[in-house]
Structure 1
Amino acid sequence: MKDRPVAVVVVVQTADGIDKVLVVPMTTTRPSKDQAAIEVPDAVRRQLGLKADRSWIVVSEWNEFSWPGFDLRPINRKSGEISYGALPAGLFRRIRDAIVAGAAGRPIDRDA
């Protein structure tokens, strides 16, 4: 399985105090016709430190897991850092709205 950055869309704390996160993948592969995706603007890509020329956030594929989860990998193994940084509010709203507009089914539960 390939490690890839994700955008955290929502965090919900369960009754037993566990944080559950819903995430969507970020990829350098142009989305297929059956995938809904939002291209990451160049300035945001540079701000986050993403190295590829182009990146997309795939809003039609989402995962859910407990935070922190076994799926998290450090970006920098020396520091253990796991965050590329925050998305600008406008881009986050576009992601959120696209997920809500296309919401069919449920996220894949990575804890199961």
Structure 2
Amino acid sequence: MPLPEPEVGLVISYAYLWRHEAEAGQEEGVKNRPCVIILSIQDQDGIKTVTVAPVTHTPPQDPETALEIPPRVKNHLGLDMERSWIVLNDLNVFAWPGFDLRPVPGAQGRYDYGFLPPALFSRAVKQLLTLRQKKRTKIQVRDQE
């Protein structure tokens, strides 16, 4: 199966590098996880760069920094039914497809779970923009030479 186009709202499987991992000197994420493409741009040379937000089961210490994914959406994406959040204050940026895009577990040759519903994606972006205005986001730039 070919790689998907990196469209906003698409949930991909990715070896996410958390801020604390990068600050400890790690260069690769420890765990593959669902991540939401928040931004996708293409430069004049055709190079695509994406910004992703990770999905985690760990409840946020500060509710403002994450958005819970409703069970109905988790079911639609084929994710487990444990509570999960999109973390909006810790992001990765990389050239598409990068070295850390991973196949979805149990989904032969697929790299994505599907799209967030537009209303949920809009809420995530609005919350992220608020965090950016307050200078409460950190971005790890990865896989770019």
Same fold (TM over 0.5): yes
User: Gapped runs of 5+ residues in structure 1?
Assistant: none
1:20-59 equivalent positions in 2, closer than 5 A: 20-33=49-62, 36-59=65-88
Q: What is the match of residue 107 of structure 1?
A: 139
Q: Percent identity?
A: 40
Q: The residue matched to 2:120 in structure 1 has which SS?
A: helix
Of Structure 1 and Structure 2, the greater strand share is in 2
CA contact (8 A) 1:24 1:63 kept: yes
AA aligned to 2:142 is: R
Q: With structure 1 as the length reference, what TM-score do the two structures score?
A: 0.90
- For residues 67 and 100 of structure 1, the distance between their equivalents in structure 2, rounded to whole angstroms, comes to 23
1:97 aligns with 2:126: yes
Q: Say whether 1:88 aligns with 2:120.
A: no
**Highest RCO, 1 vs 2 (Cα 8 Å, sep ≥ 6):** 2
Shift of 1:15: 2.5
Q: How many residues were matched structurally?
A: 112
Q: Which runs of 4+ in 1 moved over 4 A?
A: none
CA contact (8 A) 1:26 1:58 kept: yes
The 3 A distance-change label for structure 1 pair 87 and 63 is: same
Unmatched runs of 5 consecutive residues or more in structure 2: 1-29
Amino acid at match of 1:38: L
- Within the candidate set 1, 4, 8, 2:37 is matched to 8
Do the aligned partners of 2:103 and 2:111 also contact (CA within 8 Å) in 1? yes
Contact 1:35 1:60 in 2 (8 A): no
The aligned residue for residue 60 of structure 1 is 89
Q: Provide the C-alpha distance between the structure 2 equivalents of 1:46 and 1:34, rounded to a whole number of angstroms.
A: 23
Superposition RMSD in Å: 1.8
Residue 108 of structure 1, CA deviation: 1.3
Structure 2 length normalisation: TM-score?
A: 0.71
